[in-house]
Amino acid sequence: MARRRRPPRPGALADLAPLRILSQIALLQLCYYGAALVLIVFTTFVAGKHPDASQLLDWHNLRGDVTTGWTLGLCWMLDSLITVIPILLLIARSKLVPDFALTIHFINLIVTSLYTRAIPSTLYWWLVQACSAGLMISLGMWACQWRELQPMAFGGKGKQRAEATAANGHSQEPASVEEGEGYDMGTGRGRGRDGAGTYEMVGMAPREPA
């Protein structure tokens, strides 16, 4: 007897197509690095220095004993705050936010390790990454839940009827699907705008004694 497969949990990444997942991860990663690049270049020019790739990809620069390290840490925290916007636009599902947020930071760990040929070993770097991931997950889930709870507006006759009801200030009885058409019941004489109509009563023949 074949064993019944367990359905995937709602909101899991398995519910989405692999190509769609990869494209969303790529777009989010580009937005993550793009926002970080703008912030780091801006703060570097303000400090009177020349920006380079090491400030973005080298984990040695993210230190807690110098001012530039604290500035880079602030840039990465602002970057995680900005990345919530593309997460809201591309993902829009609160259950998927932790998966994508952790994936973004995991890819950043791989890129940083490959650039420096060493795994980050400073406590400040890991602390910034943990705070960045926590901020992105919490704020991203809140934003997606807020979007999910927004009332949906349906078009067609239902929307026009709701607008007319709100304008007149009183409730209306539900109309039939088509004008002058109700539901067919019994002998077919029960047609009306409200679906009720009148029906024909049929008498029952007396039962013969046994």
Which residues fall within 8 angstroms of residue 98, CB to CB, at 6 or more apart? Answer: 137, 141
Mean per-residue pLDDT for 63-77? 91
In one-letter notation, the amino acid at residue 72 is: L
Q: What mean pLDDT value characterizes the chain?
A: 77
Name the E strands within the chain: none
**The model's pTM:** 0.64
On whether residue 139 sits in a domain, the answer given is yes
Confidence of residue 84 (pLDDT cuts 50, 70, 90): very high
Are 8 and 14 in contact by the 8 Å Cβ rule? The answer is yes
On whether residue 178 sits in a domain, the answer given is no
On whether residue 179 sits in a domain, the answer given is no
On whether residue 204 sits in a domain, the answer given is no
Count of domains in the chain? 1
On whether residue 157 sits in a domain, the answer given is no
On whether residue 181 sits in a domain, the answer given is no
On whether residue 176 sits in a domain, the answer given is no
Tokens of 97: 């936010």
Question: What are the pLDDT digits (tens) for 151-210?
Answer: 765 555 555 555 555 555 554 444 444 444 444 444 444 444 444 555 555 666 666 665
On whether residue 203 sits in a domain, the answer given is no
The domain in which residue 100 lies consists of: 13-148
Question: What are the pLDDT digits (tens) for 14-46?
Answer: 556 888 899 999 999 999 999 999 999 999 888
